[in-house]
Amino acid sequence: MPTVPQTKATWTNGVDALSSTNLHAYLRDPLRFLMNKPICRVRQTVAQSIPSNADTPLTFTTEDIDTDPDAIGGHSTSTNTSRFTARYAGWYRTGGGVAISTAGAGTTGFRGSSWFVNGALVSGSKLYFPNNSTAATVLPARSMLVYLNEGDYIELAGYQNQGSAVNTFTGTEFQSSMDITWERL
């Protein structure tokens, strides 16, 4: 089980404090972790169908960055592509947005975004906006601090209530994206 390096040390004498083991464990390792803490930014470059009246986790096919130190957690572009899986327990900052196409779909209904942890809605995370008549309705996802235990996963979901399925928009100027950053214990 990975743990975030701790800086709290108990020294028995001055000689122990200067040992390479202690200097690595209580100085080098925490600094390395903080300088390369887990962050992830992923984008959706392949359109996805969003059914009417259903929060649907978005799948992300492109990683701009995923700094999971041991490549066991974080995001995968081949398995469970909607998820960011926490490798380290702690508070994570969320960000991102949802782009839903209006092409051929008309302009009725609402579009929305929300966060889910382990498949359960994160309280206070839903946002709804009216659809518009341009190529896409692009809306932000709430920036939130969410506590994740090791192995928990977080997903960004899109929503629309047009009455029939609508695709996400994946043009270069508008793409759904998800940003996750480890903040602290």
Q: Among 16-20, 36-40, 68-72, 157-161, which range has the highest average pLDDT? A: 157-161
94 forms beta bridges with: 180
Structure confidence at residue 31 (pLDDT)? 81
Domain at 37-184: CATH architecture: Sandwich (2.60)
d(CA 144, CA 148): 12
Structure confidence at residue 34 (pLDDT)? 82
Structure confidence at residue 36 (pLDDT)? 83
pLDDT at 11 over 70: no
Locate the domains of the chain by residue range: 1-35, 37-184
Nearest 5°: phi and psi at 153?
-130, 150
Q: What does the pLDDT average to over 109-138? A: 89
Q: What does the pLDDT average to over 30-59? A: 92
Which structure tokens are listed for 123?
């309280």
Structure confidence at residue 80 (pLDDT)? 95
- For 66-87, the DSSP string reads E--TTSSSEE-SSSSTT-EE-S
pLDDT at 153 over 90: yes
Structure confidence at residue 181 (pLDDT)? 96
Q: Which helix (H) or strand (E) holds 34?
A: helix 29-35
Which stretch of 10-14, 122-126, 166-170 has the lowest confidence by average pLDDT? 10-14
- Confidence grade of residue 120 (pLDDT, cut at 50, 70, 90): very high
pLDDT at 71 over 90: no
| Contacts of residue 183, Cβ cutoff 8 Å, sequence gap at least 6 | 90, 91, 92, 93, 145
d(CA 175, CA 154): 19
User: Largest Cα–Cα distance in the chain?
Assistant: 74
- Confidence grade of residue 12 (pLDDT, cut at 50, 70, 90): low
